[in-house]
Amino acid sequence: MDSYDITVLKKRDTSKAAVLLQRTFKDNTLRSNYSAAYVIAKTRGNIPKDFDAFLEEYPVRPQVSPVLMNTLGNKWEVLHSLANNCKCEDYAAYLLFESFCTHPREYSETPAGLSRLSARLLEISPDNRLADLCAGQSSFIRECRVLGYENDCTESEINAEHRVIAMMRADILGGKITVTSEDSLKLEGEYDKIFCHSPMGVKWKFFDPYCNHSASADWLFAGKCIELMADNGKAVCVFMNSTLWNQSDSKWREKFVSSGYIETIIALPTNLYSETSVSSSLVVFSKSNNTVNMIDATEIFTPVRRRNTLSDENVEEILGLLGKKCGNSRTVGYDEIAGNNYDLYPKSYTEEVKVKKDSVPFSELITRVTRGAQIKAGDLDSHFSESETDTRLLMLSDMNKGIISDELTYLKGLDKRYDKYCATDGALVMTKNGFPVKTAIVDLEDSQRYLVNGNLYIIEINESKIEPFYLKAYLDSQQGQAQLRSILVGTAILNLPVEALKGLMIPMCSMAEQKRISEKYIKKQQEIIKLQEQLEKAEKELTEFFLLSE
């Protein structure tokens, strides 16, 4: 069988083929659709009289034939009608480019733009031996073919359904593509270029003797890539962003950095996947490196409907940042990475934050920082009080534009164990998650206190060194928010780590100047309160024009 022109197939409209397949197969639709599309594409529309005749005339991989028999064995006659009503090229394009997902929460395949970017980063030459770990449905090799790379490739995939789809696609793509059921972590051999997109939908960790505790599987697969990689080889792995900064994987990051294995890290846009908005990064591995090119590509994408994609233009723009020194790209020495607790998230290095000469670490200006109380709603109910007490509940929803509401719920009968989660007068309260970071200063009588919810940090300030409202004014400023943004980490939800917060640099001045700035800030805040009251009154009046008279 002559190979299809993959670049032509990619441009074909498969909507007619999709409708015909969906109308024809109403039970077990996706498996039947793919099987039918495969047979029509493989035979170029010249369907043999029955299944046995097909197997005699066309070579089919042993793992594929049982699937074809189960889905098409007693429906063979419909293939003739399908082939007569739509071109075989359309069915080939449907098979290759339509995503196959058997479960609504399953992450079916690597987005096409991400695969093409990864292939370009690998710098594949004609004689390179390729390996695709956790290959899924062969989407990476398909995009390699789109780019014109015809290299021999080994793909490993343990999911049986995905593996059969990969085999069907490999057959239509042509060339030597070996699809194995071998566990990717047990694969053997030596390869020049390796791609790995380990399963994002599987939340699993492993106990690693090197770390002496659980670690993320992303690093386990990366270690396998290094093991399989030739001396002059290169590997690209997709990483969940959390694995680039979390404490549990720090030993792994230190190991890879100190071994010189990390060449480039690219922070990707969110919402690239149709099944999740989780964000990820590409890590490029090679040997004998002493610097890492950190690239922030989070804003380089093309929005399509409700998700983001990487167009060919986006891919070229990201590749153009390699080795550049600019706002989105920076080459970082290993010493700097080590000094940053082996944080490998690119934004930690590309977002330039100007720190004034007279700045001091946040940790020197505070006496305590702790997360608020984690109390279940049912447990809180028993502590609600209708009468006034000395303790009130402060939640994130009670903070608006840096001001704490006066309408807080009173609490009674709290255990002593909750004392450490209470904020007193002058304390700084700060949001733990999300951006922009919100702050508020607690303003209470001496005998009162707030029990703070777990989504907030309680920070007790050393008022002999810094005025509370001066500190808040800085944290709310553009420069302060830029510093806070540079230390936020996370995937779907941004998180503010305590240790990074303690290292925040705060510009200092005399106490007299701090008081002057604090007074101006408080005055402006009071203006905002009055304006809010006026706004609320006006909004209320808008609803009262048609009140019925008594």
pLDDT tens readout for residues 22-73: 888 876 556 889 999 999 999 999 999 999 999 999 999 999 999 999 989 8
Global confidence as pTM: 0.71
pLDDT in tens, 483-525: 887 787 765 577 888 888 998 999 999 999 999 999 999 998 8
Using 50, 70 and 90 to split pLDDT, how confident is the model at 3? confident
Using 50, 70 and 90 to split pLDDT, how confident is the model at 212? low
Which among 379, 471, 488, 381 has a CA at the least distance from the CA of 431?
488
Mean pLDDT of the chain: 88
Q: Which H helix or E strand runs over 480?
A: helix 478-487
Using 50, 70 and 90 to split pLDDT, how confident is the model at 349? confident
Are 173 and 141 within 8 A, CB to CB? Answer: yes
Any bridge partners for residue 332, and if so which? 292
The reported pLDDT for the residue numbered 414 is 85
Determine the Cα–Cα distance for residues 336 and 522; give it in Å rounded to an integer: 39
Measured CA distances, 150 to 129, 170, 193, 369 (Å): 10, 12, 13, 57
Asked if the domains 112-350 and 359-519 are classified in one and the same CATH topology, the answer is no
Determine the Cα–Cα distance for residues 16 and 86; give it in Å rounded to an integer: 7
- Which two tokens mark 293? 């090119």
The reported pLDDT for the residue numbered 301 is 96
pLDDT higher than 90, residue 107? no
57 dihedral zone (left: phi>0; alpha: psi -120 to 50; beta): alpha
Number of H-type helices and E-type strands within the chain: 20, 26
Any bridge partners for residue 453, and if so which? 373
- Which two tokens mark 162? 């995905």
Which among 289, 212, 205, 281 has a CA at the least distance from the CA of 251?
212
Any bridge partners for residue 237, and if so which? 196, 283
Domain ranges of the chain: 6-97, 112-350, 359-519
pLDDT higher than 70, residue 210? no
Find the mean pLDDT for residues 191-207.
Answer: 76
Whether a cis peptide bond, with omega within 30° of 0, leads into 436 is yes
209-245 residues labelled b (16+ CB within 10 A) or e (exposed): eebeeebbbbbbbbbbbbebbeeebbbbbbbbbbbbb
pLDDT in tens, 225-270: 999 999 999 999 999 888 888 777 888 899 999 999 999 999 999 8
Using 50, 70 and 90 to split pLDDT, how confident is the model at 104? very low
When computed from its CA atoms, the radius of gyration of the chain, rounded to whole angstroms, is: 30
- Which two tokens mark 191? 């390869």
Domain 112-350 has CATH 3.40.50.150: yes
The reported pLDDT for the residue numbered 550 is 47
Which residue reads 């002999």 in tokens? Answer: 464
The reported pLDDT for the residue numbered 205 is 55
The reported pLDDT for the residue numbered 100 is 66
Residue 129, C-beta contacts closer than 8 angstroms, at least 6 positions apart: 151, 152, 153, 154, 190, 191, 192, 193
535 dihedral zone (left: phi>0; alpha: psi -120 to 50; beta): alpha
The reported pLDDT for the residue numbered 541 is 86
Q: Which H helix or E strand runs over 463?
A: none
| Identity at 520, one-letter amino acid code | K
Q: Which CATH superfamily is domain 359-519 in?
A: DNA methylase specificity domains (3.90.220.20)
